[in-house]
A and B are shown apart, each in its own frame.
Chain A
Amino acid sequence: DTAVSQTPKYLVTQMGNDKSIKCEQNLGHDTMYWYKQDSKKFLKIMFSYNNKELIINETVPNRFSPKSPDKAHLNLHINSLELGDSAVYFCASSQGGQGSEKLFFGSGTQLSVL
């Protein structure tokens, strides 16, 4: 079983559309994350949720809205997609705890906005 799974793997869409990426983890972890990896391969955190509560919001445009229905799921909804949103988006989870950032990542969703 895949520990952290995200769907879809590829997403091609037009500017202005609204799209969602889903993420599920079966590790029993308390914390989940969304990361964005741009074309230069920089990996930047977008959001972090702990037990369904938002912990980190890294000045991401409010067109991006994460939703955590339960601690095993963290979905990312993006409104009014722009060209600059094209990137690979990774979901991750961790058990957390003091000094522990051992993250488990999904395989990524490659978003292409045309």
Chain B
Amino acid sequence: DAKTTQPTSMDCAEGRAANLPCNHSTISGNEYVYWYRQIHSQGPQYIIHGLKNNETNEMASLIITEDRKSSTLILPHATLRDTAVYYCIVLNAGNNRKLIWGLGTSLAVNP
């Protein structure tokens, strides 16, 4: 499975957009990009995933570059409750697929 690289930490002002980058330069054609987040003392929470096209849901938008070597998770209007560790994971769609978790990006949303 392809590895991902994320910044260790980021800050964002409340109400502004939070743009979290992820590099996955060794991603292969059948690997999806998944984003999860973990708020302190809680279990991880699914946010969004995509293969090639940009995706949007009620939580966030996922922008994947045309060459698929990087992606950006966008929280359009960050709130204090979005303070969490955000994990970018690539997943092979084959059998026995499993998510390989890195250390993610610790996002602090400041008032």
For the complex, what is the distance from the CA of A106 to the CA of B38, rounded to whole Å? 12
In the complex, A44→B46 CA distance in Å?
16
Bound: A56/B94 CA distance, A: 13
CB proximity to A under 8 Å, residues B19-51: 30, 32, 34, 36, 41-46, 49, 51
- On chain A, the number of residues with a Cβ less than 8 Å from chain B's Cβ atoms is 23
Expressed in whole angstroms, the Cα–Cα distance for A74 and B18 within the complex equals: 36
Who on chain B is nearest to A33 by CB?
A: B98
Interface assignment of B81: CB less than 8 Å from any CB of chain A: no
* Mask of A28-45 contacts with B, CB within 8 angstroms, 1/0: 000000000000111111
A78 within 8 A of B: no
B109 part of interface (Cβ distance < 8 Å): no
Question: Which residue of B30, B49, B87 contacts A102 across the interface (Cβ within 8 Å)?
Answer: B49
> Total contacts A to B, CB within 8 angstroms?
50
Q: Which of A40, A99, A103 contacts B44 (CB 8 A)?
A: A103
A98: chain B residues within 8 A (beta carbon):
93
Residue B80 at the chain A interface, CB threshold 8 Å: no
Q: Bound complex: CA of A42 vs CA of B36, how far in Å?
A: 14
Q: Which residues does chain A contribute within 8 Å of B96, judged by CB atoms?
A: 55-56
Which residues of chain B have C-beta atoms less than 8 A from A104's C-beta?
46
Given the known A-B contacts A45-B98, A56-B96, A56-B98, are A107 and B43 also in contact in the complex, defined by CB atoms under 8 Å? yes
User: Can you list 10 pairs linking A and B with CB atoms under 8 Å apart?
Assistant: A4-B43, A41-B103, A45-B98, A56-B98, A90-B43, A98-B93, A99-B93, A103-B36, A103-B46, A107-B43
Sorted nearest first, the 10 A-B pairs with minimum C-beta distance are: A105-B43, A99-B93, A43-B101, A102-B46, A105-B44, A90-B43, A45-B98, A107-B43, A101-B91, A106-B43
Residues on A lying within 8 angstroms of B by beta carbon are 4, 40-45, 48, 55-56, 58, 90, 92, 98-99, 101-108
